[in-house]
Structure 1
Amino acid sequence: MAVVAILPHAFAQTCATINPANAPTWASGYSGRVVMNGLRTPRGIIFDNQGNLLTTEQGGYGVRYITLNDYGGTNVCVKSNKQLISDSTINHGIALTPDGKKLYVSSLTTVWSWDYDGTTGTVSNKKTVIENMRNGGFHPTRTLLVPKNQPDVLLVQRGSADNVDAAAAQIETARSQIRVFKLADIEAGVKDYTAGQVLAWGLRNSVGVGEHPDGGIWSVDNGVDDMRRGSTDVHNTNPCEELNYHGQIQNAASPERGAHYGYPECGAVWDLSVIPSNTGLKVGTPLVIGGPSGSNTDAMCQSRQWPKLCFPSHTAPLDIKFNKNGTTAYIPFHGSWNKSPADGFRLSRVNWDAATGQPMDASTSTTAAVDIMYNANNGNCPNRCFRPVNVAFGPNGQLFMTSDTTNEIWVIGGATF
């Protein structure tokens, strides 16, 4: 028995160090390391049921299949990797059914499916399942999610066709929306994006879509650039980046199902100090972009769905993932060009009430997002700093993150996971 007891220690291994392109700063209790570099603009990231990692590479490769050696904590390294799917149009979205047998991947225009075998790392039986999602070249990514609480549907996000896309005010354009598709329907024959059920609309570009353990669907929205309030330029600190709630996916009668979230007419307040005539406004209050006219009034904006939380303007949140017990959400802020000084370029956590399925902080909070991994100097961004995109929990509880400017995948460990 003594020999058996010491075997794990005798054969313990340590992964070789990969020096990061830009070393981050860590909050107390968190640490991490680069698992893999040399990728080509990694974006979406998921784990299959065998513990293998899949990532989309926006830089022209398609989908990569990565097997890992996990020696505990952040001591994780690549065992092998290969190109799973070769398609230069694949740019972000990736999802697996909970049984691990069907893989969905997206481009600017299209969602495809494959039969997937995680043990052999192979795909077969490619199908086009959803099409007609072109927005020109603006907001090209299409985030995908198969919810665990309703595994017979696929959620597909589509952003706007311009900074302020006036046509997105018409639900029939199917832009700035999240739509729901029955898997059986799309596998039976290709569907136009407009055929999906509207889960939410009025979302400018909600690249981050995630599921709380209770089935609640949440998104993080990127607000408009160059916002004015009347004749006043307020864009450097407004509007806020929004955290929005879309109800429990398994509850078709949820009051949030099919609701309007304000765009393109409305944004929400982040910085009151620069907004003229701000009496009665607070952080998170929806208001008209530009100036009120006709039916486009602040009251109209406030009759639509309000954000559950706000984050600083132009920080570009691109994902939201929850820990297993639903007490924490992790949000990567990709960062934006439309602000001085540069902001974002960090990974943050938001505390959650698992019992209610809602954030702990009030909707007016300006401190709900707590940074856990960040660049010491955002003046080097976006080209000379890490720039987080997507996150995913691995089978042993660590958090993995893609950084597209540095072409890296990170593993992150912390006591609160």
Structure 2
Amino acid sequence: MRIAYQYRLRPTASQITLMNEWLELLRKQYNYRLAERIDWWERNRCPINACPLICHLPELKERPSFYSQKRDLVNTKALFPVYKAIHSQVLQNCVERVQKAFNRWLDGDCNGKRAGRPRFKGVGRYRSFTFPQMTQDCLQGMFIHLPKIGMVKLILHRPLPDGFKIKTATITRKVDGWYVALSLEDASVPVLTPDIPTLDNTIGIDMGLKAFLVDDLGGEVAIPKHYRRTEKRLKRLQRSLSRKQKGSNRRQQAVKRVAKAHLKVANQRKDFHYKTANSLLSRGKHIAYERLNIKGIARTRLAKSTYDAGWGQFLHILSVKAERAGLMTIAVNPSGTSQNCSRCDHKVPKAIHDRWHACPHCGLELSRDQNAAINIKNRAVGHPVLKAQEMSLTGVTEKPALYALA
């Protein structure tokens, strides 16, 4: 099992200066290595699909790889001795980040989804560096030993779990200070095999903007609207920032005030997501939800409310915590979940402002969101509506076919 614990650092003034210098040097190294790869791509691609029989073809340049660029770090240190102050594995990790960004653009990820063209990092845009290997005795009381930086004080607000070993440490600079994220691993922790989803051990949830989510029993979780409540203050801070002269110290202070306000909203939203996920998983059941096109919804007039709700972040947190608890999160096709009746499966057309489901065929009346949550649950266990009701009444249990797993 692999988990991550984040702690806040209290570095000294000299340590802050040193880490800021590291980030600036790593930013320049990142841009240089990325430029090498983009230059190779520009020189070796050819839009011409035909050529004469006799022509001269220039020799193709060898594609930069992680190992070739890592070997070239020796020449970088010889030309720029200031890079000798940075830990060697931290520099290698910078090259590894370039490789991942470049490969996601050309080759795509494990699902074949390609990312956009990687961009160069501007000043202040490179905010973290990673130590790929850490000793197990790096934590000494309220201090952590970072190679070539020294003993840095940290706030150990919770102890490390027993049996877990420290693998990596990532130092991140945020607007409110410095943080360290420790990646922990314990190979002895078994991977729990989840049970097959059934009507009894599965919960269906319907995500929305009126209520954050509604389960199949009718329970609602109110949407907090953190950004909406802070929007007036953010506008005032942004207007103050726009009046400051570029390059002045007061503008830098105004930028920090705006960044801290946004960071507070992000922390509040993440805290709400974690608490909601823990509340759902405390029931000990699988969670079924709709596989929504969140990016498509965010392009409509509901964009601000969609981003404020943060469905994508919540579903990611829910899936990670469910896996650790030996449960599953099941994503189903959202087509017709709000329109179809959860009792008789007849289509009951409803506009977006219609929040009540009243079926003229079977007489079922309940909230629109609860009706959708029941349909999501029925799809997750792989049963049609009528068959699911028969099985719930007779108590017959069969092996269901999952619609989709996430």
Q: Would you say same fold, with TM above 0.5?
A: no
Q: TM-score, normalised by structure 1?
A: 0.22
Higher helix content, 1 or 2? 2
Whichever of the two has the greater Rg, that structure is 2
Q: TM-score, normalised by structure 2?
A: 0.23
